[in-house]
């Protein structure tokens, strides 16, 4: 009898763990919420009746007894950037060329080359030497607060034990990679298999899954490890190079990857890459390439960052993992902006631990370029997080039964005739009322990449759309618990949770909202730039001119035009005003802490500068809040004349503009000059 109950309990635990995983980790539940609740309740009852059978690893023992709580979010004081990739030797040499061009002066560059661990980037904040917060990278600006879980990793010091001679800043933000060893990954999967739980596809997923546990006792059982590779602000510590910085972190008690190498030139970097490629199979953890960093922190500072990645570092990636399989058919999907995207449906194939059954084909031009046919054997590749893609058909394996891929002429969803705009490679459905587009937009809006409204995942949005409860974004804010509970698959609890999540999303930031609206070309990075530039004001963004948008570093003409078109669309205006009517509040962001000594100034450069490239000079002006013009006009407040200035200088003189020598400009950058004077400062 007791044996039967024990078996029953075990079975329930397995079922609950399985469904929790489908729901929380994979966002792909197989049963309805209420069925899950029933299983959970049944287990709770049995454990109450038989306390001797309750174990600490039961799903009922998670924080609060239910796996529903969320992590807090943490705003990183400085964004956690990603890296550009180099896929071969030439691209590494190009990287050095770019650095030299930017810095202009003939500097000799030395580098640090570090293995690129395939784990999870985290930030650890130490206050007076004590670990106070640990977080994930998240979207780069805000991450999830997982301090308790990170504290379970033994190689993360809880207190920095720096020797006497090491000076610690009040706040030190250390960055690095949390990872699982391959042995740990294997053991974990074996354990999960034995417990009839789904296995993790690769060590990276396993590390992420382990760190995102709500119960840190579970994290503690996972063999996680940590390597530090940087700090958020190198200005905080007494180091002049990445090499010294790593040494400093080591002295503070962190592990630094032993395969990190100082490289006196780019050729040594390339050699080290080959070395890592050779030793990779024997390493106890997974690496997917090598990170190359300019060693001098002063040069790193000068090189600065682009929107997503620093100029001073690059990821040299190992060749992608490839496999061959059969192209079964091509589906044509209608995207959020009407783009018709062909998607290859493949015979499932395991590539480096991940089963791939779909691959993107980007656009029809790609089908032609690659000469693909249905039934072809194809070489498929998967590189890191990138969506799998078809490299080429294996022509040797054709047997004549293959068929041509036909691109539809009418929208597969709304039957509207498709168009192929002249200057674009992508066929579109021009009907902005096309149900597929509307649904895609709604799914995007509530998704993690948009407003991140928990409980309104893809399936829920599809259902709400089908039931005509939500047809447009503002409709989401009119949803009531009573609307949801009556729908299939919804329970009182899930309905309440969803409505609470909608409620919480009413207060948002401009970055999140603009990302969620699905404006063409406006992703996470552009949305962040807009938020920063407009101090979080939607009103200001809506009134922006194209010229103004183009002045924002990182926004090009295509994006600027798309933003303008979007906010001028009467349907959009009406939608936004309905949205505001539902009490949506966009929080203004405090102006960046960086001072803007050049605010209101417009610079024009003519002639070449000796100490830096034109590009660097422009960056220096913009980061101080100034603007750069390309034509002489009365608006220009400072003309910087370098060697061999052109006709612009003459024109500038005629207009009586302020003219600076390179030395004057350098002084201004160094803050050695007062306010601008409307008179000639230089010897010209
Ligand atoms: S430096 C500002 N160093 O690679 C530079 N990143 O694509 C960005 N990574 O999210 C980070 N090993 O998760 C750096 N030695 C290393 C790294 C490393 C792995 C990961 C990290 C980051 C991603 C960037």
How far is ligand 1, taken at its centre, from the CA of residue 79, in Å? 13
Phi, psi dihedrals of residue 647, rounded to the nearest 5°: -70, -15
Q: Say if residue 541's pLDDT is above 80.
A: yes
In a domain, 430, yes or no: no
In a domain, 564, yes or no: yes
pLDDT 10s digits, 244-275: 999 999 999 999 999 999 999 999 999 999 99
pLDDT 10s digits, 81-125: 989 989 889 999 999 999 999 998 778 999 999 999 989 999 999
Euclidean distance between CA atoms 276 and 285, whole angstroms: 12
The answer to which of 153-167, 185-199, 338-352, 523-537 has the lowest mean pLDDT is 185-199
Return the residue whose CA atom lies nearest to atom 2 of ligand 1.
Answer: 81
To test the pocket of ligand 1, the residue of 80, 82, 386 to mutate (highest count of ligand atoms within 8 Å of its CB) is 82
Residues 334 and 258 in one domain: no
The answer to which of 11-15, 388-392, 670-674 has the lowest mean pLDDT is 670-674
* Residue 457 banded pLDDT, cuts 50, 70, 90: very high
pLDDT 10s digits, 441-456: 999 999 988 999 999 9
Residues 329 and 393 in one domain: yes
Look at residue 508 and give its three-state secondary structure: strand
pLDDT 10s digits, 361-420: 988 888 988 899 999 999 898 765 568 989 888 888 899 999 999 989 999 999 999 998
**How many other CB atoms sit within 10 Å of the CB of residue 430?**
12
pLDDT of residue 170: 93
With a pLDDT cut of 70, the percent of the chain lying above it is 92
* Residue 149 banded pLDDT, cuts 50, 70, 90: very high
Give the closest residue to 321 by CA, choosing from 349, 357, 291, 362. 349
pLDDT of residue 589: 65
Domain end among 281, 299, 317: 317
pLDDT of residue 102: 94
Give the closest residue to 295 by CA, choosing from 247, 344, 225. 247
pLDDT of residue 21: 67
Higher-confidence residue: 580 or 67? Answer: 580
**DSSP state, residue 202:** S
Q: Token digits for 73?
A: 């979010």
With a pLDDT cut of 90, the percent of the chain lying above it is 57
Q: Name 410's bridge partners.
A: 417
Max CA pair span of the chain: 101
Give the closest residue to 214 by CA, choosing from 146, 136, 151, 142. 146
* Residue 139 banded pLDDT, cuts 50, 70, 90: confident
Euclidean distance between CA atoms 132 and 126, whole angstroms: 6
Q: Tell me the whole-structure pTM to 2 decimals.
A: 0.58
Residues 137 and 187 in one domain: yes
Euclidean distance between CA atoms 231 and 300, whole angstroms: 13
By CB atoms closer than 10 A (0-12, 13-18, 19+), residue 546 is middle
**How many other CB atoms sit within 10 Å of the CB of residue 461?**
22
Domain end among 448, 481, 505: 505
The answer to which of 67-76, 118-127, 410-419, 432-441 has the lowest mean pLDDT is 67-76
Euclidean distance between CA atoms 618 and 610, whole angstroms: 14
Return the residue whose CA atom lies nearest to atom 12 of ligand 1.
Answer: 116
pLDDT of residue 340: 93
Return the residue whose CA atom lies nearest to atom 13 of ligand 1.
Answer: 121
Euclidean distance between CA atoms 334 and 617, whole angstroms: 44
Q: Which residues line ligand 1 (CB under 6 A)?
A: 81-83, 114, 116-117, 121, 137, 177, 229-230, 291, 310, 313, 315
To test the pocket of ligand 1, the residue of 111, 180, 229, 255 to mutate (highest count of ligand atoms within 8 Å of its CB) is 229
Domain end among 455, 479, 505: 505
Phi, psi dihedrals of residue 313, rounded to the nearest 5°: -140, 160
Range 25-43 average pLDDT: 67
Residues 357 and 290 in one domain: no
CATH for 39: 1.10.287.610
pLDDT of residue 386: 65
How far is ligand 1, taken at its centre, from the CA of residue 217, in Å? 28
Euclidean distance between CA atoms 683 and 550, whole angstroms: 34
* Residue 654 banded pLDDT, cuts 50, 70, 90: very high
In a domain, 475, yes or no: yes
* Strand arrangement of the beta sheet that strand 627-629 belongs to: 627-629, 602-606, 638-641, 659-660
Euclidean distance between CA atoms 250 and 244, whole angstroms: 10
Return the residue whose CA atom lies nearest to atom 9 of ligand 1.
Answer: 116
Q: Is the distance from CB of 658 to CB of 679 less than 8 angstroms?
A: yes
In a domain, 680, yes or no: no
Residues 226 and 104 in one domain: yes
* Residue 470 banded pLDDT, cuts 50, 70, 90: very high
How far is ligand 1, taken at its centre, from the CA of residue 341, in Å? 31
Q: Say if residue 66's pLDDT is above 60.
A: no
To test the pocket of ligand 1, the residue of 80, 87, 115, 177 to mutate (highest count of ligand atoms within 8 Å of its CB) is 177
**DSSP state, residue 441:** H
Q: How many domains does the chain have?
A: 6
Residues 484 and 461 in one domain: yes
pLDDT of residue 33: 57
pLDDT of residue 320: 67
| Residues 6 or more apart whose Cβ sits within 8 Å of residue 256 | 227, 228, 229, 246, 247, 249, 250
Residues 181 and 291 in one domain: yes
CATH for 622: 3.40.50.10190
Active-site residue list: 116
Euclidean distance between CA atoms 382 and 234, whole angstroms: 35
- What atom in ligand 1 is closest to the CA of residue 118? 19
Q: Token digits for 398?
A: 């054709």
Euclidean distance between CA atoms 229 and 250, whole angstroms: 10
Q: Is the distance from CB of 367 to CB of 347 less than 8 angstroms?
A: no
For the CA atoms of 25, 26, 31, 33, the dihedral, rounded to the nearest 10 degrees, stands at 50
Higher-confidence residue: 384 or 55? Answer: 55
Q: Is the distance from CB of 528 to CB of 141 less than 8 angstroms?
A: yes
| Residues 6 or more apart whose Cβ sits within 8 Å of residue 530 | 510, 511, 514, 522, 541, 552, 563
Checking DSSP bridges between strand 73-75 and strand 130-136, what pairing results, if any? unpaired
Range 13-20 average pLDDT: 81
**How many other CB atoms sit within 10 Å of the CB of residue 205?**
17
Q: Say if residue 681's pLDDT is above 80.
A: no
515: containing domain: 509-587
In a domain, 296, yes or no: yes
Residues 290 and 370 in one domain: no
pLDDT of residue 593: 45
How far is ligand 1, taken at its centre, from the CA of residue 558, in Å? 30
Residues 351 and 252 in one domain: no
Could you list the beta-strand ranges (E) of 607-652.
Answer: 627-629, 638-641
How far is ligand 1, taken at its centre, from the CA of residue 229, in Å? 8
How far is ligand 1, taken at its centre, from the CA of residue 83, in Å? 7
Checking DSSP bridges between strand 602-606 and strand 585-587, what pairing results, if any? unpaired
pLDDT of residue 34: 57
pLDDT of residue 28: 57
pLDDT of residue 676: 45
CATH for 443: 1.10.150.20
pLDDT of residue 591: 52
Return the residue whose CA atom lies nearest to atom 24 of ligand 1.
Answer: 82
Higher-confidence residue: 214 or 30? Answer: 214
- What atom in ligand 1 is closest to the CA of residue 114? 15
b/e per residue 242-265 (b: at least 16 CB within 10 A): bbebbebbeebbbbbbebbbebee
The answer to which of 451-455, 550-554, 649-653 has the lowest mean pLDDT is 550-554
Give the closest residue to 292 by CA, choosing from 320, 313, 275, 323. 313
* Residue 682 banded pLDDT, cuts 50, 70, 90: very low
b/e per residue 489-521 (b: at least 16 CB within 10 A): ebbebbbebbbebbeebeebbbbbbbbbbbbbe
| Residues 6 or more apart whose Cβ sits within 8 Å of residue 356 | 323, 325, 346, 348, 349, 350, 380, 382, 388
For the CA atoms of 343, 349, 355, 356, the dihedral, rounded to the nearest 10 degrees, stands at -10
Residues 212 and 248 in one domain: yes
Range 627-639 average pLDDT: 90
**How many other CB atoms sit within 10 Å of the CB of residue 674?**
7
Q: Token digits for 666?
A: 């350098």
Q: Say if residue 665's pLDDT is above 90.
A: yes
**How many other CB atoms sit within 10 Å of the CB of residue 377?**
17
Q: Is the distance from CB of 490 to CB of 484 less than 8 angstroms?
A: yes
* Residue 48 banded pLDDT, cuts 50, 70, 90: confident
pLDDT of residue 128: 92
Residues 218 and 184 in one domain: yes
* Residue 63 banded pLDDT, cuts 50, 70, 90: very low
Look at residue 460 and give its three-state secondary structure: helix
- In DSSP notation, 37-70 reads HHHHHHHHHHHHH-GGG--TTSGGGSGGGSTT--
Q: Say if residue 295's pLDDT is above 90.
A: yes
Residues 21 and 170 in one domain: no
CATH for 336: 2.40.50.140
In a domain, 500, yes or no: yes
In a domain, 650, yes or no: yes
In a domain, 188, yes or no: yes
The 3-state secondary structure of 289-335 reads EEEEEECEHHHHHHHCECCCCECCEEEEECCCEEEEEEEEEEEEEEC
The answer to which of 555-564, 586-595, 645-654 has the lowest mean pLDDT is 586-595
Return the residue whose CA atom lies nearest to atom 17 of ligand 1.
Answer: 116
């Amino acid at each position: 009898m007791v044996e039967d109950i024990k078996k029953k309990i075990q079975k329930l635990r397995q079922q609950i763990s399985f469904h929790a995983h489908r729901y929380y980790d994979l966002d792909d539940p197989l049963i309805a919420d209420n069925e899950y609740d029933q299983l959970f309740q049944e287990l709770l009852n049995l454990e109450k009746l038989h306390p001797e059978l309750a174990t600490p690893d039961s799903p009922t023992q998670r924080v609060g007894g239910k796996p529903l709580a969320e992590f807090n979010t943490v705003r990183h004081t400085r964004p956690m950037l990603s890296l550009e990739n180099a896929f071969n030797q030439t691209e590494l040499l190009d990287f050095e060329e770019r650095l030299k061009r930017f810095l202009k002066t003939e500097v000799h560059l030395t580098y640090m080359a570090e293995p690129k661990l395939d784990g999870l980037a985290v930030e650890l904040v130490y206050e007076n030497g004590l670990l106070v917060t640990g977080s994930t990278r998240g979207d780069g600006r805000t991450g999830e607060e997982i301090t308790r879980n990170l504290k379970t990793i033994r190689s993360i010091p809880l207190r920095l034990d720096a020797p006497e001679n090491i000076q610690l800043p009040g706040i030190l933000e250390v960055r690095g990679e949390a990872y699982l060893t391959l042995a740990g990954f294997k053991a974990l999967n074996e354990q999960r298999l034995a417990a009839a739980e789904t296995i993790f596809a690769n060590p990276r997923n396993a590390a992420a899954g382990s760190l995102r546990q709500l119960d840190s006792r579970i994290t503690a059982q996972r063999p996680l490890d940590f390597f530090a590779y940087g700090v958020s602000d190198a200005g905080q510590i007494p180091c002049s190079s990445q090499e010294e910085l790593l040494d400093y972190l080591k002295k503070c008690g962190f592990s630094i990857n032993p395969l990190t190498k100082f490289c006196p030139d780019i050729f040594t970097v390339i050699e080290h890459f080959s070395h890592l490629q050779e030793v990779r199979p024997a390493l106890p953890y997974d690496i997917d390439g090598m990170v190359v960093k300019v060693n001098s922190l002063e040069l790193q500072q000068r090189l600065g960052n682009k929107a997503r990645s620093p100029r001073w570092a690059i990821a040299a990636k190992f060749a992608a993992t490839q496999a061959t399989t059969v192209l079964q058919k091509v589906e044509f999907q209608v995207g959020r902006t009407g783009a018709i995207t062909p998607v290859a449906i493949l015979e499932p194939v395991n590539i480096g631990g991940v089963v791939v059954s779909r691959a993107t084909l980007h656009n029809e031009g790609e089908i032609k370029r690659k000469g693909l046919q249905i039934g072809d054997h194809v070489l498929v590749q998967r590189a890191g997080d990138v969506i799998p893609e078809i490299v080429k058909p294996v022509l040797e394996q054709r047997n004549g039964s293959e068929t041509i891929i036909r691109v539809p002429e009418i929208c597969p969803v709304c039957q509207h005739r498709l168009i192929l705009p002249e200057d674009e490679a992508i066929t579109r459905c021009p009907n902005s009322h096309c149900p597929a587009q509307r649904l895609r937009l709604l799914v995007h809006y509530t998704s993690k990449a948009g407003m991140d409204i928990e409980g309104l995942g893809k399936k829920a949005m599809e259902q709400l759309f089908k039931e005509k409860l939500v047809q447009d974004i503002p409709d989401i804010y009119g949803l009531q618990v009573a609307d949801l509970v009556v729908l299939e698959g919804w329970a009182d609890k899930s309905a309440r949770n969803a409505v609470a999540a909608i409620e919480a999303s009413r207060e948002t930031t401009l970055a999140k909202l603009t990302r969620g609206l699905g404006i063409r070309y406006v992703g996470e990075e552009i949305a962040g730039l807009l938020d920063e530039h407009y101090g979080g004001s939607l009103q200001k963004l809506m009134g922006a001119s194209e010229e103004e948008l183009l002045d924002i570093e990182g926004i090009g003409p295509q994006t600027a035009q798309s933003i303008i078109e979007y906010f001028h669309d009467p349907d959009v205006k009406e939608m936004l005003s309905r949205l505001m009517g539902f009490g949506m509040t966009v929080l203004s962001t405090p102006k960046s802490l960086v001072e803007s000594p050049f605010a209101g100034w417009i610079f024009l450069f003519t002639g070449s500068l000796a100490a830096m490239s034109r590009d660097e000079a422009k960056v220096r002006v913009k980061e101080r809040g100034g603007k750069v013009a390309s034509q002489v006009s009365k608006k220009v407040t400072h003309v910087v004349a370098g060697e061999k200035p052109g006709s612009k200088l003459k024109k500038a003189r005629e207009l009586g503009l302020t003219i600076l020598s390179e030395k004057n400009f350098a002084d201004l950058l160094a803050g050695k000059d007062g306010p601008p004077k409307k008179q000639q400062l230089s010897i010209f």
